Amino acid sequence: MTVQSNANLFDVSGKTVLITGGARGLGRNYGEAFVQHGCHVVLGDIDADLVKQTATELNQLARTTATCEGIELDVTNEEQVEAVVRHVVDTYGDIDVVINNAGIVDRVGVEEMTLDAWNRTMGINLTGVFLVSKYVAREMIQRRTKGSIINMASMSGEIVNVPMEQAAYNTSKAAVAMFTKSCAVEWAEYGIRVNAIAPGYMKTDMTGPDFEPGGKFYHLLDAIPMRRLGLPNELSGLALFLASEASSYITGAVMNVDGGYTLI
């Protein structure tokens, strides 16, 4: 019986990683984590100027030969998605990891929501995941790359949490979870693993103040068993794990990172 060494299970250095919605927030945080672990990172974002600025800043943090590139990407534009995937392959030789992070939330009651607003949420949150996954998987299959696709779901795809007026967002994230499972089964034979991260309430520059004493959501901390918000690096650690060989037998999983919120 051959004993496999555990020494390099968590090593992701040298991998090429495409991150959508990478200009700010969680996408930027993922990018920072991967360049610091020696990866070539391509950040795609609809805000072309900001994503290039972010890439310049992350290049200052890159480890050894790691690099970071920012490129304009509208995940709802099929021709642009195909072109960006082709650019990544032509430039770096392969795509090893994708994080489908681009997403929006429109907090409007169903009876007030326009069809355009509904379609925009579905387009970015769901169709964008489909398009990026489709073209990346084609390359992985053709090149026999045993890659990792990581989708951003949400605890809101499992429960209706506060704020409650976000039916389009909740529905899109529930669909992302099922899309993840479906792709995991379809592409397992090619060695492509597809998993999803489902965050709970996270501490970001935008949401953090709402959970401070006196904030409109401060009372929700009592409903989280861990009694605190999640931190962005607690998502990045899971993404690094899912990108590494340490998770080589995990596919189709939707992993809640919510401090236990959905358990009660």
Helix (H, G, I), strand (E, B) or coil at 27: helix
User: For the whole model, what pTM was predicted?
Assistant: 0.96
- Cα–Cα distance, 184 to 205 (Å, whole number): 33
Domain ranges of the chain: 16-257
| Residue 44: band (very low, low, confident or very high) from pLDDT cuts 50, 70, 90 | very high
Q: What is the pLDDT of residue 4?
A: 59
Return the CATH fold of 16-257. Rossmann fold (3.40.50)
Residue 59 has pLDDT above 50, yes or no: yes
Catalytic residue among 30, 92, 169, 201: 169
**Taking a C-beta distance cutoff of 8 angstroms, is the pair 96, 147 a contact?**
yes
Helix (H, G, I), strand (E, B) or coil at 195: strand
Q: What is the pLDDT of residue 237?
A: 96
Residue 253 has pLDDT above 50, yes or no: yes
Distances, alpha carbon 127 to alpha carbons 1, 77, 103, 207, 237, in Å: 45, 10, 11, 26, 26
| Residue 1: band (very low, low, confident or very high) from pLDDT cuts 50, 70, 90 | very low
Summarize the confidence of residues 90-112 as an average pLDDT.
96
Q: What is the pLDDT of residue 209?
A: 87
Q: What is the pLDDT of residue 202?
A: 94
Distances, alpha carbon 212 to alpha carbons 59, 128, 163, 170, 262, in Å: 33, 33, 16, 25, 21
Summarize the confidence of residues 222-231 as an average pLDDT.
96
Render pLDDT for 166-180 as a digit per residue (tens, 0 to 9): 999 999 999 999 999
Catalytic residue flag (residue 249): no
**Taking a C-beta distance cutoff of 8 angstroms, is the pair 200, 224 a contact?**
yes
Q: What is the pLDDT of residue 226?
A: 97
- Rounded to the nearest integer, the mean pLDDT of the chain is 95
Distances, alpha carbon 165 to alpha carbons 32, 91, 161, 181, 223, in Å: 32, 43, 9, 27, 19
Place of tokens 């200052």: 60
Q: What percent of the chain has pLDDT over 70?
A: 98
